[in-house]
């Protein structure tokens, strides 16, 4: 279980990432700025690897959570596979040095060209989400004389008890295949000669805070696997149990890595009824990345209002979309500890973008002493932060820094204005 302050905290009065002062980074690289801790990515990876013990497994990082090439290269180097949802992410994973034998491709809307590209790369598996996708994949594989390894994505119809926008395992969600479709595929496998159905995959949602939806889904998946094997007439070799384990943003108490691994071991390990029959794939995103990053921002203005000030900062919803998208909570701390002392009053912390949803915190207690020019850090922004950033309002996206103990590296600079308009034309001419 990761918490916001595992790898970030005050050192000699200044908020720091590992051993690096964030005020120093702001001075050198400007704001808004994402700052990641390298150790924060490795720690949950190593813990989960250890906790899974003798369960044969592969941890495929969900690239959409944080797709910075240096982050992916670090995860690939320590042994992680990658879970992708687009050909762009495939190119990133390969560029970062990920082994194609450790790549799985998820997503409800894969295009023909994306499928062709992934076939050419010989990825480990396609997580197929519809019968029409299976036909297309089979056809594409036949055309190039390959057999595509497939996991059918099963929608187990369980309630992940999370935000409706990040709940994916209910019948009414667009994701996956239901039991009857899977059985139909199983009994008509001859219709899909270009694929080898080797597994089932599930992913029931994100930021899940209790183990019980996982357990429900695991039980249903085991039953589904047995039924599918009967129809296919051959055993499956792997089960992909998806991602979705929650993290602490505020006071949430998500399952610990140990408890999550124990549940997996109980259902799929050597002492389970399945006796480690299946290789287990996992697709953690938020669990590895969420508390591995902060977004550094500077206060631009403080606008007094009766009862509630507006604190206007230089990061906007284009830089960090989650609060506007899901009303999600992020801790906010002053970078200089001394600026946080003394009286606090209720404030709305808002960005400069022309939308009223460009609000990071409503009626949050905020130090009176924090003024224009002061730095703040938005915590727990390592997952779905930079990857959801846009250039809305023609604002370049934040730069990114990767910290390793006392060292730091600019791992993505801001795009320039010229780069932002590079693909545009005026009256048939490039600008």
- Distance between CA atoms of 61 and 102, rounded to whole angstroms? 10
> Restricting to residues 255-284, which ones interact with ligand PLP according to CB under 6 A?
283-284
In terms of DSSP H, where are the helices of 3-106?
A: 22-29, 38-51, 69-77, 87-95
Among 206, 291, 380, 381, binds ligand PLP (CB under 6 A): 206
Contact (Cβ atoms closer than 8 angstroms) between residue 141 and residue 118: no
Minimum Å gap between C-beta 283 and ligand PLP is 4
The stretch among 143-151, 241-249, 255-263, 265-273 that binds ligand PLP (CB under 6 A) is: 241-249
Among 60, 140, 347, 354, the active-site one is: 354
Among 67, 106, 328, 380, binds ligand PLP (CB under 6 A): 106
Minimum Å gap between C-beta 295 and ligand PLP is 17
Take residue 141 and report the two structure tokens written for it: 């594989």
Cα–Cα distances (Å) from 246 to 271, 292, 333, 357, 377, in that order, read: 27, 14, 22, 24, 21
x/- mask, ligand PLP, residues 150-189, rule CB under 6 A, reads: ----------------------------------------
Residue closer to ligand PLP by CB (options 249, 366) is: 249
Among 4, 169, 213, 285, binds ligand PLP (CB under 6 A): 285
The stretch among 27-35, 41-49, 285-293, 338-346 that binds ligand PLP (CB under 6 A) is: 285-293
User: Nearest Cα to 44, choosing from 211, 291, 269?
Assistant: 291
Minimum Å gap between C-beta 240 and ligand PLP is 8
Rg, the chain, Cα only: 23
Cα–Cα distances (Å) from 231 to 72, 190, 202, 225, 235, in that order, read: 38, 12, 19, 10, 10
Among 4, 156, 243, 269, binds ligand PLP (CB under 6 A): 243
Task: Give residue for tokens 């690939």.
Answer: 76
Residue closer to ligand PLP by CB (options 202, 296) is: 202
Task: Give the contacts of 97 (CB within 8 A, at least 6 positions apart).
Answer: 72, 73, 76, 77
Residue closer to ligand PLP by CB (options 284, 323) is: 284
Contact call for residue 328 and ligand PLP (CB under 6 A): no
- Distance between CA atoms of 384 and 290, rounded to whole angstroms? 8
Among 194, 199, 213, 242, binds ligand PLP (CB under 6 A): 242
Binding-site size for ligand PLP (CB under 6 A) equals: 16
Among 197, 287, 332, 401, binds ligand PLP (CB under 6 A): 287
User: Nearest Cα to 311, choosing from 349, 364, 360, 339?
Assistant: 349
For 231, counting Cβ atoms within 10 Å of its Cβ (0-12 exposed, 13-18 middle, 19+ buried), the class is middle
Backbone angles phi, psi at 266, to 5 degrees: -60, -40
- Distance between CA atoms of 402 and 400, rounded to whole angstroms? 7
> Restricting to residues 13-32, which ones interact with ligand PLP according to CB under 6 A?
none
> Restricting to residues 72-101, which ones interact with ligand PLP according to CB under 6 A?
83
Residue closer to ligand PLP by CB (options 85, 335) is: 85
Minimum Å gap between C-beta 276 and ligand PLP is 23
**Residue 354 designated active-site:** yes
Contact call for residue 323 and ligand PLP (CB under 6 A): no
382-418: burial string, b at 16+ Cβ within 10 Å, e else: bbbbbbbbeebeebbbbbbbbbbeeebeebbebeeee
35 three-state secondary structure = strand
Contact call for residue 203 and ligand PLP (CB under 6 A): yes
> Restricting to residues 381-410, which ones interact with ligand PLP according to CB under 6 A?
383
Binding site for ligand PLP (CB under 6 A): 62, 64-65, 83, 106, 203, 206, 242-244, 283-287, 383
Enzyme catalytic residues = 354
């Amino acid at each position: 279980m990761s918490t916001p302050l595992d790898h970030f905290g005050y050192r000699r009065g200044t908020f720091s990432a590992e051993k690096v002062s964030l005020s120093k980074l702001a001075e050198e690289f400007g704001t808004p700025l994402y700052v990641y801790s390298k150790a924060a990515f490795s720690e949950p990876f190593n813990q989960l690897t250890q906790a899974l013990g003798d369960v044969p497994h592969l941890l495929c990082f969900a690239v959409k959570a944080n797709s910075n090439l240096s982050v992916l290269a670090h995860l690939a180097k320590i042994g992680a596979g990658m879970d992708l949802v687009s050909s762009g992410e495939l190119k990133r994973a390969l560029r970062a040095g990920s082994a194609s034998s450790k790549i799985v491709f998820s997503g409800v809307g894969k295009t023909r060209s994306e499928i062709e590209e992934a076939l050419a790369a010989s990825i480990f598996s396609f997580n197929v989400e519809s019968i029409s996708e299976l036909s297309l994949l089979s056809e594409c594989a036949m055309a190039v004389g390959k057999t595509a390894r497939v996991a059918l994505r099963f929608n187990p119809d369980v309630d992940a008890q999370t935000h409706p926008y990040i709940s994916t395992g209910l019948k009414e969600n667009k994701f996956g295949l239901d039991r009857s479709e899977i059985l139909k595929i199983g009994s008509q496998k001859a219709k899909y000669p270009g694929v080898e159905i080797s597994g089932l995959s599930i992913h029931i949602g994100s930021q899940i805070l209790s183990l019980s939806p996982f357990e429900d889904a695991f039980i249903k998946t085991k039953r589904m696997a047995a039924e599918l094997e009967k129809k296919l007439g051959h055993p499956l070799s792997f089960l992909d149990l998806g991602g979705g384990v929650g993290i602490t943003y505020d006071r949430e108490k998500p399952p610990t890595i140990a408890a999550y691994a124990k549940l997996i071991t109980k259902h799929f390990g050597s002492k389970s009824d399945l006796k480690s029959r299946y290789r287990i794939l996992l697709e953690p995103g938020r669990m590895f990345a969420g508390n591995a990053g902060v977004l550094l921002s500077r206060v631009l203005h403080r606008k007094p209002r009766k009862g509630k000030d507006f604190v206007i900062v230089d990061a906007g919803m284009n830089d960090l979309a989650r609060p506007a998208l899901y009303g999600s909570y992020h801790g906010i701390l002053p970078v200089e500890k001394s600026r946080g002392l003394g009286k606090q009053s209720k404030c709305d912390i808002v960005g400069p973008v022309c939308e009223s949803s460009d609000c990071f915190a409503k009626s949050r207690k905020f130090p009176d002493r924090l003024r224009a020019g002061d730095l703040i850090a938005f915590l727990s922004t390592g997952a779905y932060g930079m990857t959801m950033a846009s250039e809305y309002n023609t604002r370049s996206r934040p730069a990114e820094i990767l910290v390793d103990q006392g060292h730091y590296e600019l791992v993505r600079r801001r795009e320039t204005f010229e780069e932002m308009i590079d693909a545009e034309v005026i009256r048939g001419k490039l600008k």
